[in-house]
Amino acid sequence: MHVSVNGVRLFFDVEGAKLVPDGPIMREKPTLLLLHGGPGFDHSIYKPAYSPLSDIAQIVYLDHRGNGRSEDGPREGWTLAQWGDDVHAFCEVLGITEPIVLGASFGGMVALAYATRHPNHASKLVLVSTAAAGDEYLERRVELFERFGGPEVGALARRRLLEQRGHPDQTSVEAWARLAMPHYTRVPRDPDMGRRAINRPPVLQWFTRPDGESHNYNFFPDLDRIQCPTLVLGGEDDPMHPIESQADIAAALPPHLVRFERFADCRHACIQDAPERTLATIRNFILRPK
């Protein structure tokens, strides 16, 4: 399905009813809005991993502008501020009130942009394996890639993260997909997930170009604007956004609002490496009274 938001048509999908029969009443479930990672991928990377939560929430999957099945719009609009504003406007257009917004990796960055720019809109926030500022803990990331992939992968990570800084050659891009990406998770990914996903490389190239926003964004000065309960979780062995990045986010949020969960033996995708614990943690957070 598509809806016009801020001048572009955004694709979204819905899993589960908003209203369900419950004895003499129709019970309303909260809306869980999922913001996918990337940039350049689509919402399908969340299916079916988060589907079990549809019994307690109506799940709405959104493709960001320039990603998946959504329209591009001008490249100048491929910014965290615009993506965050799109989340707010998307909810306004569809009449979604008090959403629970979950973002992982790049989706977590979009969630932070949304929550800091529209602090009274979400009812709860879930931030998974993400970072609040660009180019954090680069040496730590190289160290972790070398630990899991050996000297070749460590050298590749050093070139990509510290030496090429936003302008990798095609050989490095192909080597990264072949050698480094398998180490994003401890449990091997289902190869069909990658085959199903729509990959839009231009938006990633724009975001990570030498002067791109991925290197210089910083939400830390505004994190105290967030006014809703926030669950921060990440893997202890995440080589892309080390657990220190999530610890920094949790420390910067209002302490009475934050819950921080560290997942042992997990890397960049807790839902992949520890699905039962991840779903249980998110489920408990959704069900917990504000």
Mean pLDDT score, 58-81: 97
Extended strands (E) in 137-275: 230-235, 258-263
The predicted model gives 222-251 an average pLDDT of 97
Are 62 and 128 in contact by the 8 Å Cβ rule? The answer is no
Residue 98 scores a pLDDT above 90? yes
pLDDT in the model for residue 169: 64
Model pLDDT for residues 142-195, shown as the tens digit of each residue: 999 999 999 999 999 999 899 877 666 667 778 898 999 999 999 998 888 888
> Residue 182, preceding bond cis, omega within 30 degrees?
no
Distance, CA of 190 to CA of 187 (rounded, Å): 9
Mean pLDDT, the chain, integer: 95
Which pTM was predicted?
A: 0.96
Q: Which two tokens stand for residue 43?
A: 């919402």
Q: Which residue has the higher pLDDT, 76 or 194?
A: 76
Cβ contacts of 189-196, under 8 Å, gap ≥ 24:
189/269, 189/272, 193/44, 193/45, 196/44
First to last CA, the chain: 31
